[in-house]
Structure 1
Amino acid sequence: MAPKIRPSSSDEKQLSTDAVVDTQQEIDQGPPDGGLVAWMTIAGGWLIYFCGLGFSNAYGAFQDFYVRKFFTNKTPSEIAWIGSFEIALQFFLGIPVGIAFDAGYFHHLMIGGSLVYCFSLFMVSLAQPGQYYQIFLAQGVGMGLGLAMTFLPVLTVVAHHFSRRRGFAIGIMTSGASIGGIVFPIMLNKLIFGPQGFATGVRATAAVITGLLVIANLLMRTRPPVLKEGDPRLMRTPVSVLLKDVPYMTCVVSGVLLTLGIFYPIFYLQLFSIKHGIDQNLAFYIVSFINAGGFFGRLVPNFLADKVGSYNVLIPASFACAALVLAILGVRDAAGAIVVALLYGAMNGAHISVTPALLSDISSDVSEVGIRMGLYFSFIAAAALFGQPISGALLTDKFIWWRGTVFSGACLIAGAVVLMWSRYLFLRRKGGGQLQWI
């Protein structure tokens, strides 16, 4: 029997070096557009969106409960500040979170954000009726901070695993928000308006979310390039450079205008339906109908975006959102409310899921995707914060519905027009070529 020959230490070192080189070459060739690790990460991201934005999309149930039961001494505008601050905070911290992601702190952000989010949701269940500050701190500040630490990194990590099919992958992942937006409003309406009551209902929801976020964190992986000292990709794109990028900043302005109006049906359509005599048992499902439409709106448009360009999908979807918001004024019965909810959900879902793909597409390198997304979401944070309180103030405690509806519709139309201008500027920068790319 021939003796086994053990490689020398120099041979072992060479084999190790060759393996590193092969791995580095594989990474430098770009994202694999698939594979077990990539799809496990998408599955983990799906759960993050299910528990994060999916729960945020159920805020209409909280708005209705707070207005009619929990904070009867507060106006709709004051109550809307809770949900608006939660949404705004996740966007406002976009720059530091984006920089931390680009620096390699993906798992730190995800684990920390999940812990903060779950703890805050349990704290919501301890709030007492009429104690506005308790809900604001737990749901507005605490849960908003948890969302801020998880929302952007999950979007950005897709660029580590997908390139050609990035839009479709983002669509699949963000569809978790739609499914969560279907499940949680039904769950919350049945629990907090039912015999279980507010505290038990919120705690039950928090327990489910905690378990799912543990699974999500176990599934996700990053795939950043291993760069040597002096590699130009190590040079972080300064924020000052992006602020001078006119096509990109025009896109940001568009995002601000769109965000002022995009959340109006999610906040107010359930309350609108109840105030217009639609059966309460059916009206409880209105937010779920919005998110049911959003499930398809996050898949089909993203698939099309990979084929015809992100701008070419996002612009029509934005105009459609505006038309459907204005159509709320014509709703008089349950059938009308359901149709508007489903169609709006589809177009809103397209807007939310295609925007990250667009920001990835217009980034010159994967190393700047985080900062571009972070800057974009930081700017739209103010719009997310003030949009629905403004709508609530226009609504007043007399529920003058046309004021808030027209305001939101006008903002969406203006945002869509500015988005068209942003597309034109990018095309001009590229010399008018590659029309399908954007």
Structure 2
Amino acid sequence: MKPSDLSDLPDQSLQTSSNQLDRKQVGKESVMEGEKPSQQQEFSLPPTDGGIQAWLFLAGCFVVEAIVWGLPFSFGLFQDFYSTHEPFKSDASGIAAIGTSALGVLYLGCPFCLAAVQYWPLVRRWSVAVGVTLLVISLLASSFATDVSQLIVAQGVTYGIGGAVLYSPVVTFVDEWFIQRKGLAYGVMWAGTGFSGVVMPFITSWLLQHHSFRTTLRVWAVIFVVLALPLLKVVKPRIPESQKRQTFYIDLSFIKERSFMILQLGNILQGLGFFIPTVYLPSYARSIGAKNAAATATVSLLNGALATSLTDSMSRPQSSSARSGQQSLPSCFGGSLCLPCPFVFSTIYGFFAGAFSSTYSGVAKEIRKVNPEADAGMVIGMLVGGRAIGSVICGPLSEILMRNQGWVGRAELGYGTVYVDRAEPILKKLQNIATLVLSIIVKEQTNKLIDTIMQIAIVGVGALGHHILNAILATGKHSVTILTRGEPRLDDPRIKWRKVNYSDRASLTEALRGIETCISTAASFDDKSFVGGQIALAEACIAAGVRRFVPSEFELDPHTRKDRIPYLAAKRQVLSYLNTPEVRNKIQCTIFTPGIFYDYYSPMVEDDGKRHASSESLVPIGFDMVVDLKSCRAELVDGMDDARIRFTAVDDVGKFVAKALELDNWPDQFLMSGENLNCMELIQLCERVRGKPFEIERISIAEMEKKMDEAKRANDMMGMFKWITPPCILEGEFWWDDKSAPGVADIRNIFPEEKFVSLEEFLRKWW
């Protein structure tokens, strides 16, 4: 099909391949039998990011974090006690494996438990109680142990299983209670580890010094029960679970991503060495003359520094953790036989090496840029599982290093102890491995930088296309080519212009060679020409090897809108074509859905009255939609008061399209919305901006239909547009819900750090 008249005017976009999927139908099918998903139920939920229930939940998360991780990170005190007291002193070879087994099973179990609670969400609430029960059972069983193997099973493996079962659902609850303040929530939650890591060692040391290990473990079991009882009340999902079993698909495709594999390798290697100081610090401190309190302080300082690093959710200290954590080992751990050095080491090591796990949320964010459909919880779960490999291996490995003490005294100061000298050749090998991994990471990041400089083609740079072009150029990351039938309009060295004949398939294909992403914002006043032009453009993209095509569909959601006028029906034809297997299997087609543009409400330029002040390229729609800010009037058809509309500024559309270019993979549809208001909220907002009440004209349904008939008889296109708008609003065509479906992604969730301009802020700027 050949286009005869594809204009370079901006369009409001086209829709892509798997977008024939009806999200409303998906929503209906996902509702459990017997449920009534009323809007009232939705609004009765407790608020997110604040409120008494959210803060109580966060306090409960703090306690869960303290319970689960506090004792394993303080195991060095038990290690010191078991190796110097019967009945374990005579068989000390496996003692180190107790603590590393607890942490290893805990870490390794998290991804499996996270997958389970996502696949069977109804078990999430129960798993909290089950996890606490297993923790208490493990402590009680450990108190009756008579040999090391029993401690490995009880205090190691069973504790790890219980911790994973308790901890995993809590991570999923955080995502429900905190949306905009997620970083704060995780920071407060993770601070529980540091708090318990500071407090627990002193309590444990006092109990071990004045009582037996059996009494110590039983006291902690009682403390856990007392702390856990309130948890069962406050640590719960924000959204009530369905009364019927519901399962979800678990997407693990992100583990195949090259960036994830590189990061996971570094994560595993870091885990090989991270846990050993928590096990051996008290023993080392005692070997150079420290008393009980001083030996305890080494663990407490390490965990205290860990708290500060974990709560810093905004930093990404991978490189500083790797370098400084490594340098602190030889300089402080073995550099002297005096007691202050282990304290300095504990602080430095805890601050830098302990900060490593706080990078997991940043890693999840980066992975979601590559794979937008990846679940952040599962990404973190897999990273936790990777760290478990190092945790499990380092226990037996450290025992082997400690077994032969023939090297003692051959080196100076602390380096001549059993804790350092034997490890030298292995540390050198690990250093070589770390160097290799670092070179791979540098190469990976270099390739990633090169890959981000992609060739972008834009078809139609009037209207919206002008804003998208400016946003892409502002990033400075991409090479932009404009396809045009006429002469270049802009003298900008950053832009390449290619003059094309849209009717000539060979010419169009040649112009698109080397292009990675083609974005069309072109429009035509001839609906047949528009359909032909868009199809010809898609065919040329396929022939030229273009990877992604964005059709001219930047407006309402095609899953909810009805094709009430011919140009929308024309767009539907293009969507149907893009949804065919012949197209879907050859090119990724993605649409952006922004709703109504803010800019239609900005003042008109006074000199000609044909352009909006906020966007000189945007074509005015020719009538006032609901409100007239100039005359402070509003029109409401009966029933429109509570009907909702989605809005976005054209500059934000451009910004988020440019951000999306950073992603390796795109969904079929990006939703974007700066505001979600009903008509009365829109009027009230405009009244605040203009500083006066609006005159509201009420129009009946019958009167609206009469005005529509008059516009049709007069062949008044603007009149028809004006009077089909109220029924569109009334039937929800200007709105969509926040529930996603396969192939659909809300761009706010992919780039949470990027903010939309609010409608009120926009209007105050221009009025």
Which band: TM-score by shorter chain?
Answer: 0.7 to 0.9
- Could you tell me whether the CA contact under 8 Å between 1:122 and 1:206 is conserved in 2? yes
In structure 2, the residue matched to 1:90 is 106
Structure 1 unaligned spans of 5+? 1-14, 228-233, 306-311
Change (3 A) 1:226 1:217: closer
Residues 272-298 of structure 1, C-alpha deviations (whole Å, 9 max, x = no match): 111122334312221111112222222
Partner Cα distance (1:254, 1:53) in 2: 22
Is residue 116 from structure 1 mapped to residue 134 from structure 2 by the alignment? yes
- Whether 1:161 aligns to 2:177 is yes
Instruction: Kindly provide the CA deviation profile for residues 85-116 of structure 1, in whole angstroms up to 9, marking residues without a partner as x.
Output: 11111122233211122232321222111111
Aligned mates of 2:445, 2:61 — CA distance in 1: 29
Task: Select the residue among 40, 43, 53 that pairs with 1:19.
Answer: 40
Say whether the 8 Å CA contact 1:67–1:79 is kept in structure 2.
yes
Alpha carbons 1:42, 1:169 under 8 Å: kept: yes
| Contact 1:55/1:184, CA 8 A, preserved across alignment | yes
Q: CA separation of 1:384/1:430 partners in 2, compared to 1, >3 Å: closer, same or farther?
A: farther
Aligned-partner residue type, residue 349 of structure 1: G
In the alignment, which of 135, 143, 158 is matched to residue 151 of structure 2?
135
Q: Contact 1:102–1:371 (CA<8 Å) still a contact in 2?
A: no
Partner of 1:353: 358
1:80 and 2:96 are equivalent in the alignment: yes
Residue in 2 that maps onto 1:99: 115
Cα distance in 1 for partners of 2:38, 2:144 equals 56
Give the aligned partner of residue 293 of structure 1.
Answer: 305
2:558 matched residue in structure 1? none
Residues 229-274 of structure 1 show CA distances to partners (whole Å, capped at 9, x for unaligned) of xxxxx863433x2332111122211111111111121111111111
Are the counterparts in 2 of residues 113 and 148 from structure 1 also a CA contact under 8 Å? Answer: yes
Distance in 1 between residues matched to 2:238 and 2:452, nearest whole Å: 29
Asked if 1:321 corresponds to 2:343, the answer is: no
Q: Which structure: greater helix fraction?
A: 1
Q: Distance in 2 between matches of 1:288 and 1:263?
A: 14
* 72 and 384 in structure 1: CA distance in 2 versus 1, 3 angstrom threshold: same
Give SS of 1:285's match.
Answer: helix
* Equivalent residues of 1:82, 1:139 under 8 A apart: yes
1:401 aligns with 2:420: yes
Q: Kindly provide the CA deviation profile for residues 314-372 of structure 1, in whole angstroms up to 9, marking residues without a partner as x.
A: 33223222222333121421211111112222223322233245325634568722332
Work out the CA distance in 2 between the residues paired with 1:365 and 1:214: 38
Query: Which residue does the alignment assign to 1:12?
Result: none
Letter of the structure 2 residue corresponding to residue 117 of structure 1: L
The aligned residue for residue 125 of structure 1 is 143
Greater mean deviation of Cα atoms: 289-298 or 57-66: 289-298
Which residue of structure 1 lines up, in the alignment, with residue 389 of structure 2? Answer: 382
Q: Please show how residues 199-210 of structure 1 align to structure 2 within 5 Å.
A: 199-210=214-225
Q: Is the 8 A contact 1:257 1:414 kept in 2?
A: no
Contact 2:139 2:217 in 1 (8 A): yes
Structure showing the higher strand proportion among its residues: 2
The aligned counterpart of 1:330 is: 335
1:238 aligns with one of 226, 233, 251: 251
Name 2:456's counterpart in structure 1: none
**Maintained 8 Å contact 2:115/2:250:** no
| Greater C-alpha Rg | 2
Q: How big is each residue's C-alpha offset from its partner over 1:56-83, in whole Å with a ceiling of 9 and x where there is no partner?
A: 111000111111214222345x211111
Q: Deviations over 1:383-428 (max 9, x none)?
A: 2101132123223352252344785694695698366666667666
Structure 1: how far apart are the matches of 2:281 and 2:180?
A: 37
Contact 1:33 1:164 (C-alpha < 8 Å) held by counterparts: yes
Contact 1:185–1:287 (CA<8 Å) still a contact in 2?
yes
SS in 2 for 1:330: coil
In the alignment of these two chains, the number of paired residues is 401
1:212 to 205, 227, 251: 227
For 1:244 and 1:375, how far apart are their aligned partners in 2?
12
TM-score, normalised to structure 2, is 0.48
Q: Which consecutive residues of structure 2, in runs of 5 or more, have no partner in the other structure?
A: 1-35, 406-417, 454-476, 478-657, 663-750, 755-767
Q: Answer whether contact 1:274 1:283 (CA < 8 A) is retained.
A: yes
Give the Cα–Cα distance (whole angstroms) in 1 for the partners of residues 447 and 250 of structure 2.
21
Equivalent positions of 1:242-253 (< 5 A) are 242-253=254-265
60-69 or 383-392, which moves further after superposition? 383-392
1:142 to partner: Cα distance: 1.1
- Which residue of the other structure, out of 228, 246, 255, is the alignment partner of 2:267? 255
Change beyond 3 A, Cα 1:334–1:113: same
Is the Cα–Cα contact under 8 Å of residues 254 and 374 in structure 2 kept in the other structure? Answer: no
Deviates more, 1:357-366 or 1:212-221: 357-366
Alignment-mate amino acid for residue 142 of structure 1: T
Q: 1:235 to 1:47 in 2, by over 3 A?
A: closer
**Which residue matches 2:741?**
none
Cα 1:344–1:187, aligned 2, differ >3 Å: closer, same or farther?
same
Q: How does 1:255-274 map to 2 (within 5 A)?
A: 255-274=267-286
The answer to whether residue 197 in structure 2 is matched with residue 172 in structure 1 is no
The answer to which of 356-365 and 95-104 deviates more is 356-365
Distance 2:426 2:67 in 1: 30
8 Å CA contact 2:125, 2:169 repeated in 1? no
Distance 1:134 1:187 in 2: 24
Structure 2 counterpart SS, 1:68: coil
Change in CA separation of 1:16 and 1:352 when aligned onto 2, cut-off 3 Å: closer
**Against the structure 1 CA distance between its residues 386 and 186, is the aligned structure 2 distance closer, same or farther, given a 3 Å change threshold?**
same
Identity of aligned residues (%): 22
Whether contact under 8 Å (1:324, 1:343) holds in the other structure is yes
**Which shifted more, 215-224 or 141-150?**
215-224
Distance 2:229 2:446 in 1: 44
Q: CA, structure 1 residues 391+197, in 2 after alignment: closer, same or farther (shift >3 Å)? A: same
Inter-partner Cα distance in structure 2 for 1:366 and 1:180: 35
